[in-house]
Amino acid sequence: MKKIILILISILIIPASSGAVILEIQVSNHTNAAVNISWITDVETAGEVHYSENHDLSNALTAYDKRGQAYQGCTHYVDIKNLKKSTTYYFEIVSKGETENNAGNYYTFKTMEEPFVPPGVCLIHGVVYQEDGTTAAEGAIVYLEVTHNGVDSYPLAKLIDSKGRYLFNVKEARSLSTNALVPVSSNDPISLRAVYCGNVNAYSDLVFDGCTYDAGSMILAYNQDGPATTTTIPDDNTSTAPPADPVPSGGGGGSSGDGGSAVLPETECATGSDCNDGLFCNGVEICKAGKCITGASPCDEDEACYEAKDLCIPVIGPPPAECLSDAGCDNGLFCDGVEKCVKGVCNPGKLPCDSQEICIEDMDTCWGSETITALSMKKRLLRPVLKSRKCTWLVLKSADEHHFDKKSSTITFSGPEGTSEGVVVDTGRDAFRAGNFILVPVCIDRDATAGQWKIKIETSVGEGEGSFEEEVEAGFELK
């Protein structure tokens, strides 16, 4: 698998006694203004990245772990932001006094030229567990790569949260060959790899087959060699998916008051559990002096909150437009009207047919409709007692002219609460008309539902302009 920029490098350094072994250096999440650099160490320690536009690393800036400058651990996850577009940067990594700089040549990455505006959202999420299969692998790092038409993408990276979860928008992936956003399509391979302390890792291979959400779970194990299974992502939304639109985090704070919290004077409490509203995105409520106080947002300023999955996900750059033109909103259907793109949002179209017309999707046309109320000459039909089914004639009389035709008209029955079983047309005999009368052969089952039933006879009248759909309706009671 050819990589043109530092993507996945495992480097073993023989450290001094006070140093750290630095492994799995990875550059990911490339945009025109930011990248992520991650690595793991053999001991828990702090880490930082020195980076510069100069090849000798002069005038270098320092970036720290996303979890804070004081954070110490064996996984290291550093977001570098506010970079210049289409610019090459040089960097080195420092962990526990050990500097890794590619033998003095420094590592490099280059930012993208195009602004970061993904063409939509296609979310894949999952869970990573420790080797016991039940403990969340908090602090592990997951990498995702897409292969489209034989070309790999730059990796996307996510830091596992306290519940072991991660979430990717596959539409953010960029091609290694063109730097353009990857047009992910059906059957594109997607690889997931999780890394953690102690040289434990996990792999999962997916096959893209339409946007879905749940990629299942990965369990870390010592020095796994590679993916063991391949999973097809089904084209459905039956999993517990996050909602389509994230709730803004509000800058990681609450609404007002001390520490971003707001006092709710109307809500009294004895303990914090009295204040818990069961929501994730508005933080943890506490009870103070007998009054409930709202919590702070759990998400950072550059993150959006997904209530349905209790997740914070990064939002880099402006939110993606739902559409760029009317063509991006067209669902290919006639009967729901022509959709319009208004300020990047798809708006439903105006229904093409008026209230007196029937829309025929297969013909892309509106047909006029006429309903004729007929009189059933038998107000009441009796279900059989001894036999399982009996057949008889149902005679309808219409005061208006109708167009019933035994070859083309459709006859249906509907009973109480929408049931249609137990009363059917007798297929052994033909319905026929005699003036304004329509005689319908009908069979009634012993277990048919008693109550008020309706018979409807639908007939398509004419062709082209002036054609319409005629309905003859009548009711009867089944005892």
Q: Per-residue pLDDT tens for 115-171?
A: 666 566 677 888 899 888 889 899 999 999 999 998 999 999 999 988 888 888 888
Q: What is the mean pLDDT of residues 309-326?
A: 61
Pick from 147, 144, 174: nearest CA to 156: 144
Confidence band of 302 (pLDDT split at 50, 70, 90): low
- Tens digit of each residue's pLDDT (9 = 90 or more) over 325-379: 788 788 778 888 888 888 777 888 888 777 656 676 766 767 655 555 666 666 7
According to DSSP, the β-strands at 73-80 and 35-45 are antiparallel
**pLDDT one-digit tens code per residue, 190-226:** 899 999 987 678 788 877 766 655 777 888 887 655 4
> Residue 62: which pLDDT band, with cuts at 50, 70 and 90?
very high
Q: How far, in Å, CA of 404 to CA of 459, rounded?
A: 6
- Say what the pLDDT of residue 381 is: 82
- Assess contact for 341 and 349: CB atoms under 8 A: no
283 by Cβ neighbours in 10 Å (0-12 / 13-18 / 19+) ranks as: buried
Q: Is 87 left (phi over 0), alpha (psi -120 to 50) or beta?
A: beta
Q: Is 291 helix (H, G, I), strand (E, B) or coil?
A: strand
User: Quick one: CA dihedral 182, 183, 189, 194, positive or negative?
Assistant: positive
Contact yes or no for 376/363 (Cβ under 8 A):
no
- Written as one string, the DSSP assignment of 51-92 is EESSTT-TT-EEEE-TT-TT--EEEEEEEE-SPPTT-EEEEE
* CB-CB contact of 315 with 324 (8 Å): no
Helix (H) or strand (E) holding 22: strand 22-28
- Looking at residue 357, what is its pLDDT? 64
Q: What mean pLDDT is reported for the chain?
A: 76
- Residue among 107, 132, 5, 128 at smallest CA distance from 50: 107
pLDDT recorded at residue 74:
92
Report residue 76's pLDDT band, with 50, 70 and 90 as the boundaries.
very high
Taken in order of first residue, the domains within the chain and their CATH numbers are 22-110 (2.60.40.10), 123-232 (2.60.40.1120), 247-314 (no CATH), 368-478 (2.60.40)
- Give the whole-angstrom CA distance, residue 141 versus residue 158: 6
| pLDDT value, residue 373 | 61
Distance, CA of 246 to CA of 311 (rounded, Å): 10
Torsion 394-400-406-407 (CA) sign = negative
Q: 75: which strand partners?
A: 40
Q: What is the pLDDT of residues 428-444, one digit of tens each?
A: 888 888 777 888 888 98
